Amino acid sequence: MSNFYETMYIMRPDISDEAVDNTIGKYQGMIKEKGGEILETQHRGKRRLSYEINRYREGIYIQMNYHAPGETIAPMERDMRLSEDIIRYLTLVIDEPREAEPEEAPAQAAPLGS
């Protein structure tokens, strides 16, 4: 069964743009190999971290939203854990997006003085 996932990972700030693009492509490829579908990938750029991680004060943030089977997550996270370029990652299961329900018209009040 496929679920909707969001994975946010933070890369070292000192790697090249080419290495960032290669890493993004690598994880997108891992998802596609397992039968997943990438919905959106956002390169959020270099940002200051809230606290120091592995002596880094900044990191490059990447967010991926995708639809994939559950067995896709463990190998991808294992690779992220072993990668020297990734300093943090988090994967969340997202409830299936719901379409907005039409709003009901407000009830008409009875005219005053009748």
pLDDT tens readout for residues 15-63: 999 999 999 999 999 999 999 999 999 999 999 999 999 999 999 999 9
pLDDT, tens only, 54-101: 999 999 999 999 999 989 999 999 999 999 999 999 999 988 655 545
Residue 26 within a domain: yes
- Selection from 36, 34, 47 nearest residue 8 by Cα: 47
Residue 101 belongs to a domain: no
- Return d(Cα 39, Cα 5) in angstroms, integer: 10
Q: What is the pLDDT of residue 109?
A: 53
Q: Is residue 77 part of a domain?
A: yes
Distance CA 105, CA 74 (A): 47
Q: Domain range spanning residue 77?
A: 2-57+67-94
The whole-angstrom separation of Cα 81 and Cα 83 is: 6
Give pLDDT, residue 103: 55
Q: Is residue 30 a contact partner of residue 72, using CB atoms and an 8 Å limit?
A: yes
Q: Output the six-digit token pair for 24.
A: 């993004």
- Locus of tokens 């996270």: 77
Number of domains in the chain: 1
